[in-house]
Amino acid sequence: MLNSTRTTSLNPLLEGLRPSPTLAMSMRMRERAAAGEEVYRLGFGQSPFPVPEEVVQAAVAHIREKDYLPVSGLWPLREAVAAFHQRTSGQPCSPEQVLIGPGSKELIFNLQFAFEGEVLLPAPSWVSYAPQARLTGKQPRWIHTGAQHQWKLQPAGLEATCEQVGDVPKLLILNSPNNPSGQSFSPEECRELAAVARRYGLLLLSDEIYGELHHEGRHSCMAPYYPEGTVVTGGISKWCGAGGWRLGYAIFPPQLQWLQQAMSSMASETYSAVSAPIQYAAVNAFRGSQSLDDYLQASRRILKAIGQYCYRELRQAGITLPPPDGGFYLFPSFESCKGRWKHQTITTDRQLCEKLLDETGVALLPGSDFGCDPASLCARLAYVDFDGEKALQAVQNGHIQPEDAAFIPEYAPLIQQAVQRVREWTMP
């Protein structure tokens, strides 16, 4: 009896921990599709585009690399990431400042683990930040934003929370372009938030995994505005279509070397190093080339066209949402439909998503998974259910422009059907 109690005891930090909503939804979609049910996969946010051929070829060429690599990453890769960061943010960066990890998700977790103090999260924020904070024994503190501010953290809200929290170390996690809202901070917004961060001496984790997918190619990196306190994370999962390759990076300023060293030691005791062939291949991705620039350019135009289409169609149906300017997500609120639709039994966002999936096959994730009030009936829509390879080829070969009216029906028919189904479903 005693023995069985011992062997079944769970670390209390894991109590209530469930599979991450994004990955759980991805599994659920596979099961539904296998059972022959209709599915529109707007729940899981994965790049629809293939890994660029030259990056694939680099992985193939290095498949025999079998040795463990240095814990902080392959030196040429750290050089390439530093040069990439310098090119895209305008901020000087040396390879010593770069830490390579098995996806930025793991690096974000390790940073939260290494940090002692309060974790501040804007609501909505990406699904994994808060569970990660809890896993490290911290209760994240939400800072509510609002539809009237396009779900963007406001300097005044940040300031008020910093005052409330008082004199303890504080970590703020920001994400731009944003998952779930599809919104990006402008240079001015970065400057204003940075001023508050500096005033309160915050540690700022700027998750810029969608930076290269700003639809106009005009991403504002947070680090130049608050260099001494900002850690930037990114990777190849989104702009390079390589989510399953599991490679990300974090860039630390010299002032936060203590944190970088602690995270590198954690790496040495946990994952050791990222897979060698993938690190060699990623060197090519970060060095860049004309063909990678063309790939990115076409990816952005396609995402912009599809994002704008979904935005327009939903807005016309009376659903509230801000127009996206980066990444591949939308964050509609169905609250405005409440008075007029036939689904009077729906009072929470989870009920909404379940009923929508049941009745239309369209998968969305409830806003409460992102820290929002369940009663506000928000949901996240990932507009990635289309054949990215086919769309990219057609655009790059000049067969069609993403802005043409024929593009959506021809190259994103499932997105079109899904959005029309959502519209119809919300009608009286």
Can you give the length of the chain in residues?
428
Binding of ligand GLU at residue 320 (CB under 6 A)?
A: no
- Part in contact with ligand GLU (CB under 6 A); list of ranges 20-28, 65-73, 193-201, 355-363: 20-28
Question: Considering CB distances under 5 to 8 angstroms, the limit depending on partner class, which of ligand PMP, ligand GLU, none binds residue 333?
Answer: none
Look at residue 426 and give the partner it binds from ligand GLU, ligand PMP, none, a contact being a CB closer than 5 to 8 Å depending on partner kind. none
> With respect to ligand PMP, which residue has the nearer C-beta, 247 or 408?
247
* Contact range with ligand GLU by CB under 6 A, out of 16-24, 187-195, 260-268, 407-415: 16-24
Q: Does 328 bind ligand GLU (CB under 6 A)?
A: no
Say which entry of ligand PMP, ligand GLU, none residue 23 contacts (CB below 5 to 8 A, set by partner kind). Answer: ligand GLU
Please state the closest distance from residue 112 (CB atom) to ligand PMP, in A. Answer: 13
Of 53-61, 98-106, 363-371, 386-394: span binding ligand PMP (CB under 6 A): 98-106
103 binds ligand PMP (CB under 6 A): yes
Q: With CB under 6 A as the contact rule, which of the stretches 18-26, 61-69, 212-220, 287-295 interacts with ligand GLU?
A: 18-26
Task: Tell me, by CB under 6 A, how many residues bind ligand PMP.
Answer: 13
Give Cα 25 to chain centroid, integer Å: 15
CB of 26 to ligand GLU, least distance (A): 7
Diameter of the chain measured on Cα atoms? 71
Segment interacting with ligand GLU (CB under 6 A) among 15-23, 150-158, 317-325, 392-400 = 15-23
72 binds, among ligand GLU, ligand PMP, none (CB under 5 to 8 A by kind): none
Residue 235 binding result from ligand PMP, ligand GLU, none, given CB thresholds of 5 to 8 Å by partner type: ligand PMP
Q: Considering the rule CB under 6 A, would residue 237 count as an interface residue with ligand PMP?
A: yes
- For residues 193-232, which are near ligand PMP according to CB under 6 A? 207, 209
104 binds, among ligand GLU, ligand PMP, none (CB under 5 to 8 A by kind): ligand PMP
248 in contact with ligand PMP (CB under 6 A): yes
| Nearest residue (beta carbon) to ligand PMP | 103
Is 180 within 8 Å of 143 (Cβ atoms)?
A: no
CB of 239 to ligand PMP, least distance (A): 11
Do 129 and 173 form a contact (C-beta atoms < 8 A)? yes
Task: Identify residues 273-312 at the interface with ligand GLU (CB under 6 A).
Answer: none
Identify residues 105-134 at the interface with ligand PMP (CB under 6 A): 105, 126
3-state secondary structure the chain: CHHHHHHCCCCHHHCCCCCCHHHHHHHHHHHHHHCCCCCEECCCCCCCCCCCHHHHHHHHHCCCCCCCCCCCCCHHHHHHHHHHHHHHHCCCCCHHHEEEECCHHHHHHHHHHHCCCEEEEEECCCCCHHHHHHHCCCCCEEEECCHHHCCCCCHHHHHHHHHHHCCCCEEEEEECCCCCCCCCCCHHHHHHHHHHHHHCCCEEEEECCCHHHECCCCCCCCHHHCHHHEEEEEECCCCCCCHHHCCEEEECCHHHHHHHHHHHHHHHHCCCCCCHHHHHHHHHHHHCCHHHHHHHHHHHHHHHHHHHHHHHHHHHCCCECCCCCECCEECCECHHHCCCCCCCCCCCHHHHHHHHHHHHCEECEEHHHHCCCHHHCEEEEECCCCCHHHHHHHHHCCCCCCCCCCHHHHHCHHHHHHHHHHHHHHCC
Give the residue, chosen from 44, 49, 309, 411, that forms a contact with ligand GLU under the rule CB under 6 A: 44
Judged by the rule CB under 6 A, the positions of this chain that interact with ligand GLU are 20, 22-23, 44-45, 105, 128, 179, 382
